[in-house]
Amino acid sequence: MTTHEHSQPGISMADKIAQIDRICGEARILPVITIAREEDILPLADALAAGGLKTLEITLRSEHGLKAIRMLREQRPELCIGAGTVLDRAMLKAVEAAGAQFIVTPGCTQDILEAGVESALPLLPGISSASEIMMGYALGYRRFKLFPAEISGGVAAIKAFGGPFGEVRFCPTGGVNESNLKSYMSQPNVMCVGGTWMFNSEWVKNRDWARIQACSAEALALLD
């Protein structure tokens, strides 16, 4: 299969790489959100957005994921809503139907990579090795999520991947927090980071939206 063989008409891999660059460039920090309670969907998104984090990855790790994507796309159209923890074609189709604007996977299989080529939405595949990068590279992918970032080598791995994969850029996720955020973002091949530290699960449980807003703003301020 060639890179563009199954692409949607008019939406090349180059177009989708440009979309990922714009989404990640504007986000800088991508909150990776698993919704535990349906009533938290809007106030959590509002708190993060008030702190400056307006691009959100809603995972399918809970039963509320698809509903959260649909609700946010309908009721918060000013936000950019992606779908995370997409594991197979069926989940990819479901998040497309829910209105997701981009798709993130925790790892990659040949099938999910090919589904991403076929999709009209940009896909950010998860990788943790050079071999997985090469699988995606062969299909035209140049943007990846390094996951789980810290236990997959962290900043040192990002630097090492920069040698053989000069065109590739990463969104490290997994173990990224306020203490290592700047180290990751200072790497020329890092376009944004994903994380959860700015909305601690206890704060969400206790509906401490003001604290989440403040922590989001503090996280972004570290990058200024």
Q: List, by residue number, the catalytic residues.
A: 57, 145
3 state DSSP class of 131: helix
DSSP string, 159-219: HHHTTT-TT-EEEEBSS--TTTHHHHHTSTTB--EEE-GGG-HHHHHTT-HHHHHHHHHHH
Is omega for the bond preceding 148 within 30 degrees of 0, making it cis?
yes
Neighbouring C-beta atoms of residue 144, cutoff 10 Å: 26
Going from the C-alpha of 173 to that of each of 83, 124, 185, the distances in angstroms are: 14, 12, 12
Sheet holding 169-172, edge to edge: 126-127, 143-146, 169-172
Neighbouring C-beta atoms of residue 202, cutoff 10 Å: 9
3 state DSSP class of 110: helix
3 state DSSP class of 83: strand
CA distance 1 to 23: 28
Neighbouring C-beta atoms of residue 21, cutoff 10 Å: 16
